[in-house]
Structure formats: structure tokens, C-alpha cells
Amino acid sequence: MTKHILLSHLPTTRIAEIDHDAAVCVQPIGAVEQHGPHLPVATDALLAEYVARGAAAQSTAPAWVLPTLSYGTSNEHLGWTGTVSLDTTTLLAVCRDVARSVRASGFTRLVFVNGHGGQTHLLSMVAREIRIEFGLHVVNVMPGQLGKPEGVLVSDAEWGIHAGELETSMMLHVAPDLVDMDAAVAGGRAAHDLFAASPLLTIEDGISPAWITDDISPVNGVIGDPRDASAEIGRTVVEFQIARLADAFAEISTFDFPPAPSALRGL
């Protein structure tokens, strides 16, 4: 029997019968933004939803997936045709409203599965606010941060952060009909070389100057080289991420902080 994982497909009476303390509510969140000439603008949302659903189905934990928030904060891509971006304050408010509703339904655990690197820090910030305001256990996870299986090598590993070989490979596995490999081109190499000349500065994951797409890849919006992408690489990586996230859901389902001594509050 297939494990049911979609919370919105249940009637309210069935939802009321769920073990709300152990249940993990999973909120996939992506973006609608340009991904070069070969990938759909919904790439981040599609990958986040696929991995979240796969992990919920595979996990030993009672994980329940909420409807995907396809829009995210993608202001670095504004001006590129097809990009639809929420303002930062709008996304923060939406996440808080989702959390408020989850808590009002009696649940205690919420996981944001985020497909867009440009909003990782924002979601980490709102996760702490949600923890303080609603008392939920909140986790913000980006599947790409779960690592890669051994032996998976991509040619643009040092600079392929957007619509490059790895992301294109994942889409070739998840939604091959939406990928146009005949249109795949490299982009952003000059910006990578610029950062390579600076010992401390990086495009991301370090000391990174704020940038927009026009700073990094003004010609085609790609940051990386997708031309060697393959569905086999994508399958290997996606299955690895799903397995890791499924295990994480199991840990989150039973995790709890020890109660804080009341005498220390306010000190």
C-alpha cells in the first residue's frame, strides 16, 4: 500500500486523527525565476517538491507534505523574462502565516524544503522567528546542502551554481520533457575567473559581495556549464538527497529540546 503523504488531500476529520506531536509538516518552497534558455522558470519549485515528496514517502516518520510554495524571493533575477519574485517581507509573512496555521491545527514540527539558494538565509531567519512566536520545532533545509554521493563529478563544480551541469542533470531525471538540451549554453565563466583572482571573495558560501544575475551572467543567465548534464547523474544525486532527507525527517519527528529552567529566564 502506498504511503499517503499529501496533507491537503485529507479531510479535516482525518487530519485531526494524526499524531500531531510526531508528525512532520513539510513545506516545499521554490522560486519562479529564469534558469537560462534550457530550463523552465519553475526549476527550483519542481526540484524542491520532488525531493520533499520522495523523502516523505520513504521516511519512517509520519511526514506530511503541504502544497508547494512555488513563488520565492528571486530579486536577483528581476528583469529577466518569466521571473516572478515575492518581496522579502512578503515571503517572510507567508512563511509565518503557514506556520501559524500549522500550529493552530495542533502540529508541532515544520520543515521548509527550500529549492532556491537565494533565499536560504531569509528562511533561516524566519525559522527562528517562528520558533519564538509559535513554539514550533522548525528546520530549514536545502537538498543541495545534503551533499552528493561519492563518485559523482561535474565539470563546473566550482562555479556551476545556477542552471549548470548538476541542476540540469537533476531536471533531466525529474522532468526531462521540460529540458531543452539543444539550447544549453555555458555562462558566468568570466565572473568565476574574477572571483578566482580574489583570495578571499567568492560567488557564494564565503565572503560574497551582494550580486544580481546581470553582474555574474548578463548574456544568458546561466552560471555554470550544463552541456555535459545527464539524467544518470541527476538520478544518482536526487535519490541520494531523498534518502538523506527521509532520514532527517525521522530524526526531526522525535527531536526535542530540554525544557529551559524557568529561573534563568530574563537573565
> What are the pLDDT digits (tens) for 176-210?
999 999 999 999 988 888 888 888 998 887 888 99
What are the angstrom distances between the C-alpha of 201 and each of 170, 196, 197? 28, 8, 9
CATH number at residue 147: 3.40.50.10310
Residue 1 lies in a domain: no
Residue 63 lies in a domain: yes
Q: Which residues contact 130 (CB under 8 A, 6 or more apart)?
A: 95, 96, 99, 110, 136, 138
Indicate if the pLDDT at residue 57 is higher than 90: yes
Q: What's the mean per-residue pLDDT of the chain? A: 94
Residue 2 lies in a domain: no
Residue 126 lies in a domain: yes
- Domain carrying residue 22: 7-256
Give the residue-averaged pLDDT of 11-20: 96
Cβ neighbourhood burial of 166 (10 Å; 0-12, 13-18, 19+): buried
Residue 208 lies in a domain: yes
CB-CB neighbours of 110 under 10 Å: 26
Helix (H) or strand (E) holding 96: helix 88-104
C-alpha cell recorded at residue 98: 503557514
Residue 267 lies in a domain: no
262 falls in which pLDDT band (50, 70, 90)? Answer: low
Residue 264 lies in a domain: no
- Evaluate whether 138 touches 99 at the Cβ level (below 8 Å): yes
Q: What is the pLDDT of residues 101-116, one digit of tens each?
A: 999 999 999 999 999 9
Residue 265 lies in a domain: no
Task: Tell me the whole-structure pTM to 2 decimals.
Answer: 0.94
Overall number of domains in the chain = 1
Kindly state the DSSP code that residue 188 receives in the 8-state scheme.
-
